[in-house]
Structure 1
Amino acid sequence: MSSQRSISSFFAPVAKTGPAAKPTPSTASSSSKPAPAPTPKQNGSNKPATKPTRTTRRKAKAVEARDSDDYVEEEEEEDDSNEGTTSFSKRVRAFSVQSSDKPQDSDSTAPAPKRARLEKPIDEEEEEKEAETAVEIQQEEPLPHKSPKPATKQSGKGIITDKFAFSSSQPAHGETPDEDEEVSPAEALRKKKNHEKFVRKLAAPGKFDILHRRDHGGEEVGDEGDEDDEEPERPPEPKKGSKAATKRGSKLTPLEQQVVDIKLQHMDTVLVVEVGYKFRFFGEDARIAASVLSIVCIPGRMKFTYDASEAHMDKFASASIPTHRLHVHVKRLITAGYKVGVVRQLETAALKAAGDNRNAPFVRKLTNLYTKGTYIDDIDGVDDHDAVGAGSGGAVSTGYLLCITEKLGGGAGADEKVKVGILGVQPSTGDIIFDEFDDGFMRTEIETRLLHIAPCELLILGELSKATEKLVTHLAGSTNTVFGDGVRVERMERPKNMNATASIHVSDFYAEKLKTDEADLPQELLDIVTQLPDLVTICLSAMITHLTAYGLEHVFDLTKYFKSFSARSHMLLNGNTLSSLEIYRNQTDFSERGSLFWTLDHTSTRFGRRLLRKWVGRPLLDRAHLEERINAVEEILNSTSERTQTLKTLLSSVRYDLEKGLIRIYYGKATRPEVFNILNTLLKIAKTFRPVDSPDQCGYSSPLINESMAALPRILESVEEHLSKFDHKAASKDDKYSFFKEVDEYDFILDLKMAIKGVEYDLEEHLPEAAALAKKKKLDYVTVSGIDYLIEIDNASIKNVPASWVKISGTKKVSRFHTPEVLKFLRERDQRKETLANECDRAFKEFLGKISTQYQQYRDVVQSLATLDCLGSLAMVALQPGYAKPLLTDGIGIKVKQGRHPMVEQLLLDTYVPNDIDIGADKRRTLLVTGPNMGGKSSYVRQIALIAIMAQIGSYVPAESAELGLLDAVFTRMGAFDNMMTGESTFMVELSETSDILKQATPRSLVILDELGRGTSTHDGVAIAYSVLDYMVTTIKAMTLFVTHYPILAQMERAYPKEVVNAHMKFEEAQDGSEDITFLYQIAEGIAHRSYGLNVAKLANVPQAVLDTAAVKSKELEVEIKGRETARW
């Protein structure tokens, strides 16, 4: 039965029967006495009795009071006093008692006290009272009656008609329904008005919706996580379209007002608000959450400011998630590109109840902000692809937050120049990279840095030029780049005076750090900061301000890893090279599988994987360091020592991302289980090589291995000291109360624990007293459904329970109570527990601060272990068949025998055909490659570049042998595509990239030009290709691999016989004259005079009619060209 139907049926007889006319004082004094109570015989007889008064005097008084105007007015006053459900439940009980009171032995007898809690749902309680009332009325004196019309049914104590089965004041047995009585019109109208007014006040729609159970403290208890736990009840919803509805549409509850106030300050943020035992979204945030998280959104107002179209809506739209799933959903939202703010309750129920603002709503504040680049509240972070073994695809974002700003340098069109400043921060590891550089109208320098750094979030400071804006927008929104999924972009204004204020802001930031001794800033870091270029200083100032809102500004004072991107200690791989050679992602489905990084990645740890990614993108230029790395790989490869096996076992056993874990400890965001796991892992690392005190004791000939391994045991003492401070079992269970060992506990924590034990002792001492009150020999406390200190009484003895005891729960056999004393003790205990929890958290923060003092030392150990992991990964690559150790020279040249493409070889089911290359300064530098389409020309030139890159990473190479001079850069111009984002045609992009290569290449560079000039007419294409090749040979003198379908370029070999050599990919023609060919995929000297494009068209299943026409036209053009050449000679 619905609540509305229940209350309507409860009052139904009032409108039909009503009481007798209200007696005046004189009438009351002269009225006759009521007839005696009926005997059982009379009660069961069908003979009419003498007509008595309609009801007893007590019944008449109760009904009279119910129908009086004063009574109704009093109810209105109570309702307007905003007492909510409390006053309403009292009124319902009062009316029920008045209408069903039994005769008392004495007028002075006090009524039985009521429990402090409704023991049954309100509907069931009212139905039971209705049934009791019906029975009691039957026991009173019967009235004259007519033959009953309705069918009857047997009740426990008499006969009840079906019609009045749910009425509170039905006729007694044999009584005729009141509709047969004659009532004056004035009396009927008065009763009808009173009844309607009464029902309107007490039984309005929605009244029962706000009734809640009462807890043991007498306070309301609603659904978990509902704001009704704390907010004042709202009046019934007015009818849609009414004036009241319009007025109420703009009225907010205290909770809603809190949300609106915070939202108006963070309109770009999706807010998730802690409400009780749930986190909730409101308004437009609820719609976004429902869309991204696939959860239910309850309709309501979407906008946080007044909107006339939503004036009829009384509540905000809302959606909710459980508390334990908060970070799961936060990660999904920030991965989708949103900024997420977590609004938490800063008060607990127990402490609030003891405070001065117990009647006010919970205090809530925005405690956390998260974006892609700033989320560190989970060791796994949001870059799930960063997990070891994630080579199956996905993004390869590094987690960098990159700030970029620029200054116009003059010029226009192709002569446009800009000066760009960047600063990238990886909050999850503490790495910082910066650079200031000049760029041209193609913005190749910006593109190169963006593709290398691969940020997950961009902070654009001020306005960017049109070309830069288009490039950044294109790379950020594209999934076909090294970024993978889209990059979040946020913009920040750049004041005009920021050039002057930035350096002051940065200086004040570090001066404050030194003054407060918050960080042990090394002098090296301070020197770097004070010597940063102007635009980088501006970016640093902006990033300090930006990260302060996320609580991550300490990243700028904790590490020595401030690195300049432009430090030319590495081979330059620009954006085109990264893409064309598939360094990080393949060009088919843009996943990691099939890339060079995928081929080399056999790391065991996440921090090792991140370091290997840096190695792959920045091959070494220093020969001494490079040989040191290659020799270390060789020693691990050939080592059979027990220590090498121990190292492999150690690496495979490290499950935690120590790099991210340490930074979380530094930020003070690590949990107790995380701290235990990280320190325990560091302890295991340090103990593994404990006998080692110096690099000489490691037993390897490689200095790189010895130094890395010797660094591991150095942290043993400090780690053991930190581990001795806390209980490991409590830490693994995240037990804050038992975390610290007693000898090391703070005094106030110990005092609070003793106070709690004192309260628990008082509770035990109270049991004998409770047993005496309940007339029991002995009682024990029980715990049911998480509620402790319950006193359990069998229902047969419940009459002995004092009325002041509060019933909490029960079964058919027993009832469970809290005594007033128990409630008082529990409140005191809960308040002390909340205080203890806060103090334990504060002490834990201090403990994290102590660990953070060794951050640099621990980070160096993790870096050493990552180095060993990367060396082991490269050793695994070298184990593959057909790999050789490269020989590095000081000269300029590339000589590879039986080289293979490293990625194609692994993906190809058939055997890969190896090829040779021999170019250099003391021989011919340029290789002009021709051959049929699909003959393997592009794969051949790519494999040469990849072998050179692998060698300078420190890896073995897929070849029989390789002798390589160090390259300072690899440049590529491959493929044909336009750039709609910048409005550039295919040919324009082709020439722009070629222009950049001509400006940057050196004699130590390797340049790959694939089919240059094909984006325009044949004559122009040949002319441009010839002139570029001539410039490379005569002026730049870089090692060049030039792929072309223009046979006329073969004349370059005759013009420069000591610089250029012609080569082609071998093939065999069919002997039946069908022009079918067989690809041999082998390089050979000489030139291929035909490209055999028709053969490729045939392989592509072009219709035969088209092929026939093409063959005819091809022969006609061939004859025409030969005729022209003959005439010329």
Structure 2
Amino acid sequence: MTDGPTPAMRQYYSVKTRYPDAILFFRMGDFYETFGEDAGVVARELDITLTARGKDKNGDRMPLAGVPHHAADGYIARLVGKGYKVVICDQIEDPKTAKGVVKRDVTRVITPGTLIDSSMLGSAGARYLMAVAPDRKETYGLAFLDVSTGEFFVSAGRDYADIVSEAVRYRPSEVIVPESLPDALPDRLETVGVTVSRYRDDAFDTDAACERLCRQFGTATLDGYGCAGLSGAIAAAGAALRYAQETQQSPLSHITGLSTRIPTGNMVLDAITLRNLELTAGIRGEGDGSTLLAALDVTETSMGSRTMRSFLVAPLVRKAAIEARLDAVGWFVGHSIERQALRAALGEFADIERIAGRIAYGNAGPRDLFTLRESLEAIPDVKTLFAGDVPALVREALDAMDDHARVVDLVGRAIVDDPPALAKSGGMIREGFNANLDELRHLATTGKDWIVEFQQQERERTGIKSLKVAYNRVFGYFIEVTRPNLHLVPPEYERRQTTANGERYTIPDLREKEAMIATAEERLSALEAEIYAELVRTLAEEVPPLQATARAVGLLDVYAALAEVAARYGYSRPVIEENGRVVIRDGRHPVVERHLPVPFVPNDTDLDSSGDQIMIITGANMAGKSTYMRAVALCCIMAQMGSFVPARHATVGIVDRVFTRVGAFDDLASGQSTFMVEMLELANILNNATAQSLVILDEIGRGTSTLDGCAIARSVVEFLHGKASAGPRTLFATHFHDLIDLEGSQKRVKNFHFAVRDTGEDVVFLRKIIPGATDRSYGVHVAHLAGVPKKVTDRAIELLKEASTRETPAGPRAPRYTQMLLVDSGERAVAENPAVGELRSLNPDEMTPIEALNALCRLRKMANGERCDR
């Protein structure tokens, strides 16, 4: 007959049944143990030893892997970082007083989206739990909750693409969806690297969710939070809150409200655009150094870093709001002394927002409180930096920063100057804060002094120089004598234990003092823990104002950081207009220019939804077309987030949405080819772009045959141009040179290309965009630069010459191209435009202003091949 499981293992199986999808950390003595399949996962993921002990339910050897309880946080963080859910089952009674098996129960469930411990968070960035709830209107409600800070907001999505875009925008650590939701959406979310957890359907009930949220916020309705009528968003928010409360085993009192962020209130940046423009993540995963966020985020605090990211992924669309942010940034640009002083002060600030969250949760450590006090003590000095008039947003932030004198005083009186990181270590309460604690501390200290004196006394009395008075949990205090000295032991010594090296003894005086010291130390430890817990509970009342201060600090940090970047790199304040123009003078790419070994070549842009709406950009490979187009988009995004821009001047007519289609990516997981992905992305653009949108299209139609691709590209340009008086501002880069004819047939289409210098033997890319078209892409030259064998490139040149000969008509043909070729060799004759000869004949010194203006108009007509009457 096979023996059944031990009482402890019966406890284990009981808990594991409740959490079958999680890794169970089961406390046994000084270790957290994992068993069975969990042990295999833990051993593999953490690279620790897998052993076996006893037998499982089937009578097989039970796999076992454990980690020390004092180091468990690091191991748990690694597992959660890989997407696992971890359940902590602790001993909930003292093993010394337990009768039979020690009682154990779940004290916490840790998931990727519900981390709150500072040792596990790992970075200053927001760590969102996202919830998705289907709405009655065939749309979806979305909620985002950062348990570590209490940030909580809702949004909405029309379809799967919107939901994925929001996931890419906010990068949640975990998404919860109803159990009954079809697999299609979770599968899409997992493809962008999100951990998806299914949660019971009843948690997404709208009425129950509304009741839970109102109870959490202490309100009778949610109307004041801007989500009235958004049943899906309310359901998602209620589910997120319930999930967080259940996993944390806490009411999470620091979550005191939520906001509504419907995408129509901000510039829409879908998942494709976020990827292509590398706003927050590199397009090929090469790290964050290549992103716009990395280029702008020179904030000094964790609160500021999170705020910077929220500004970047959700640019504004209201002119007044944008101007208010630009006013704040502009003030810091013009007040460098105040800016530097503020940044120096903020550099010493702790993460007030997350410390407030840990206070509310009840797991704030003594060092958290100490650093919180130091940060709050600096706030009055920060405020004194701002004398006189300041912009409205700066004043609002300063007014929201409370001095928190009560918190500073309480923590200053309670916590020692060099506290331990963890409360369980003890020694964190300052002397003089509690009289009873001081008395016990004195008693414990004097008792230890008595032990030292007693040891010396016994050595002298017995003549045993190596005699020691020691302590352990089992025997308490004892006298230890080595074997060579046993003959000197006095008769009144009472033997307690024999060891390999000698004997252990006690005497009545030692037993009496032991009881006093042990009692004092136990009472001291218990009282200090009680005092500290009460201190944290008292501070929990201050969490809402602490959160308000943290948000204000984050805003000031961002305004100053954007000003710092503007001052360092020569950015200018953009002019914001409510029209269809985008005018940029000497615009630069804010990321690329930082990584070039040579100066970045700036370029101009003139776009107007009702004027020069579409720029068809032709020219050589590697000439800079993609960089140029991305730079225009980034300038618009930066302007609307409230940042200065990398240009000598920029006028930005408010953009409601940025669309991009660049590069070639397969979606093999869903069986979609490069061309299918291109067409899906193109369909999204054509179906959703408005006259206020900015569209970036790079090489449309290149994924299929030349004939089909050229036809698609031409029809796309015609569609975007349309018959209306305005259309989306569009940058269209192509190697289909037949498209340049559209400038003549579509009045809002203009041709541009990037200039090159062709020596006849080599090509130099000048990176400068100029009006007109080109008929050469220099693909063979780029192949040579890439290291393609010379035999291949030489043969390609021969084939190009043959094709050019076949395509050359017998009779004369009017020139179609106006490419700037700066030819160093005199071997090639270049037809001169009549405007050049006319320009040579002019003498500006002898012309009146009106004559010069007329001449300029005449030259422009001649350059464009138009009829010109003198």
Q: CA deviation at 1:436?
A: 2.8
Correspondence for 1:473: 190
Residue 521 and residue 719 in structure 1: after superposition, are their counterparts in 2 closer, same or farther (change >3 A)?
Answer: farther
CA contact (8 A) 2:743 2:749 kept: yes
Letter in 2 for 1:1040: T
SS, match of residue 586 in structure 1: coil
Correspondence for 1:64: none
Partners of 1:934 and 1:588 in 2: CA distance: 19
Partners of 1:757 and 1:934 in 2: CA distance: 76
Of the three residues 491, 505, 512, the one matched with 2:198 is: 491
SS, match of residue 27 in structure 2: strand
Residues 1:851 and 2:591 are matched in the alignment: no
Residues 1:637 and 2:390 are matched in the alignment: no
Partners of 1:534 and 1:862 in 2: CA distance: 31
Correspondence for 2:131: 403
Correspondence for 2:363: 669
Partners of 1:996 and 1:576 in 2: CA distance: 10
Letter in 2 for 1:616: L
Partners of 2:206 and 2:515 in 1: CA distance: 53
Correspondence for 1:307: 58
Correspondence for 2:391: 702
Residues 1:1114 and 2:807 are matched in the alignment: no
Correspondence for 1:941: 629
Correspondence for 2:169: 452
Residues 1:861 and 2:568 are matched in the alignment: no
Q: CA deviation at 1:996?
A: 1.7
Gaps of 5+ in 1: 1-246, 388-396, 410-417, 477-486, 514-519
Q: CA deviation at 1:1006?
A: 1.1
RMSD: 3.8
Of the three residues 481, 504, 511, the one matched with 2:208 is: 504
Correspondence for 2:764: 1078
Correspondence for 2:682: 994
Q: CA deviation at 1:434?
A: 1.7
* Superposition map of 1:1057-1072 within 5 A: 1057=747, 1059-1071=748-760
Residue 830 and residue 531 in structure 1: after superposition, are their counterparts in 2 closer, same or farther (change >3 A)?
Answer: farther
CA contact (8 A) 1:287 1:297 kept: yes
Deviations 1:330-356 (A, max 9, x none): 11121122222222222334444xxxx
Q: CA deviation at 1:948?
A: 1.6
Q: CA deviation at 1:599?
A: 0.7
Partners of 2:467 and 2:401 in 1: CA distance: 54
Residue 568 and residue 796 in structure 1: after superposition, are their counterparts in 2 closer, same or farther (change >3 A)?
Answer: same
Q: CA deviation at 1:1124?
A: 10
Correspondence for 2:148: 428
Partners of 1:530 and 1:900 in 2: CA distance: 40
Partners of 1:999 and 1:746 in 2: CA distance: 73
User: What is the TM-score normalised by the length of structure 2?
Assistant: 0.83
CA contact (8 A) 2:155 2:263 kept: no
Letter in 2 for 1:491: R
Of the three residues 789, 797, 801, the one matched with 1:1103 is: 789
Partners of 1:725 and 1:931 in 2: CA distance: 70
Partners of 1:1067 and 1:985 in 2: CA distance: 34
Correspondence for 2:736: 1046
Of the three residues 1094, 1111, 1127, the one matched with 2:780 is: 1094
Q: CA deviation at 1:405?
A: 3.4
Deviations 1:887-910 (A, max 9, x none): 223332111111111111111112
Correspondence for 1:682: 376
* Superposition map of 1:364-403 within 5 A: 364-377=104-117, 379-382=118-121, 384=122, 386-387=123-124, 398-403=126-131
CA contact (8 A) 2:254 2:357 kept: no
Partners of 2:254 and 2:355 in 1: CA distance: 18
Partners of 1:758 and 1:938 in 2: CA distance: 73
Partners of 1:1070 and 1:872 in 2: CA distance: 48
Q: CA deviation at 1:817?
A: 2.2
Partners of 1:1111 and 1:901 in 2: CA distance: 34
Letter in 2 for 1:1102: V
Deviates more, 1:1079-1088 or 1:787-796: 787-796
SS, match of residue 436 in structure 1: strand
Q: CA deviation at 1:580?
A: 0.9
CA contact (8 A) 2:588 2:602 kept: yes
Q: CA deviation at 1:725?
A: 4.3
Deviates more, 1:803-812 or 1:845-854: 803-812
Residue 567 and residue 1080 in structure 1: after superposition, are their counterparts in 2 closer, same or farther (change >3 A)?
Answer: closer
- The alignment covers a number of residue pairs equal to 806
Q: CA deviation at 1:255?
A: 3.0
CA contact (8 A) 1:676 1:732 kept: no
Letter in 2 for 1:571: M
Deviations 1:1014-1041 (A, max 9, x none): 2222232222222221121224611111
Residue 668 and residue 888 in structure 1: after superposition, are their counterparts in 2 closer, same or farther (change >3 A)?
Answer: same
SS, match of residue 288 in structure 2: coil
Deviations 1:713-757 (A, max 9, x none): 53234432443345555677847766556876498x789889x77
Correspondence for 1:978: 666
Residues 1:627 and 2:323 are matched in the alignment: yes
CA contact (8 A) 2:578 2:654 kept: yes
Partners of 1:559 and 1:1125 in 2: CA distance: 80
Letter in 2 for 1:427: V
CA contact (8 A) 2:629 2:696 kept: yes
Correspondence for 1:118: none
Letter in 2 for 1:1079: F
Of the three residues 564, 568, 576, the one matched with 2:264 is: 568
SS, match of residue 579 in structure 2: coil
Residue 1112 and residue 277 in structure 1: after superposition, are their counterparts in 2 closer, same or farther (change >3 A)?
Answer: same
* Superposition map of 1:321-336 within 5 A: 321-336=67-82
Letter in 1 for 2:86: V
Q: CA deviation at 1:618?
A: 1.5
SS, match of residue 632 in structure 1: helix
Residue 737 and residue 880 in structure 1: after superposition, are their counterparts in 2 closer, same or farther (change >3 A)?
Answer: closer
Letter in 1 for 2:737: P
Partners of 1:967 and 1:444 in 2: CA distance: 20
Q: CA deviation at 1:854?
A: 1.5
Query: Identity of counterpart residues, as a percentage?
Result: 27
Residues 1:917 and 2:605 are matched in the alignment: yes
Of the three residues 675, 680, 697, the one matched with 1:1009 is: 697
Of the three residues 281, 284, 299, the one matched with 1:603 is: 299
Residues 1:267 and 2:13 are matched in the alignment: no
Correspondence for 2:470: 784
Letter in 1 for 2:315: P
Partners of 1:553 and 1:1092 in 2: CA distance: 65
CA contact (8 A) 2:369 2:411 kept: no
Gaps of 5+ in 2: 815-870
Correspondence for 2:832: none
Deviations 1:464-506 (A, max 9, x none): 4464344223123xxxxxxxxxx322212425xx77x541354
Deviations 1:555-587 (A, max 9, x none): 476333x23232533222111111111111222
Residue 504 and residue 251 in structure 1: after superposition, are their counterparts in 2 closer, same or farther (change >3 A)?
Answer: closer
Residues 1:1055 and 2:745 are matched in the alignment: yes
Correspondence for 2:243: 546
Partners of 2:660 and 2:734 in 1: CA distance: 14
CA contact (8 A) 1:470 1:982 kept: no
Partners of 1:509 and 1:930 in 2: CA distance: 56
Residue 524 and residue 915 in structure 1: after superposition, are their counterparts in 2 closer, same or farther (change >3 A)?
Answer: farther
Partners of 2:767 and 2:384 in 1: CA distance: 55
Correspondence for 1:1031: 719
Q: CA deviation at 1:993?
A: 1.7
* Superposition map of 1:863-942 within 5 A: 863-921=551-609, 923-942=611-630
Residue 1086 and residue 251 in structure 1: after superposition, are their counterparts in 2 closer, same or farther (change >3 A)?
Answer: same
Correspondence for 2:11: 258
SS, match of residue 369 in structure 1: strand
Correspondence for 2:309: 613
CA contact (8 A) 1:893 1:921 kept: yes
CA contact (8 A) 2:22 2:85 kept: yes
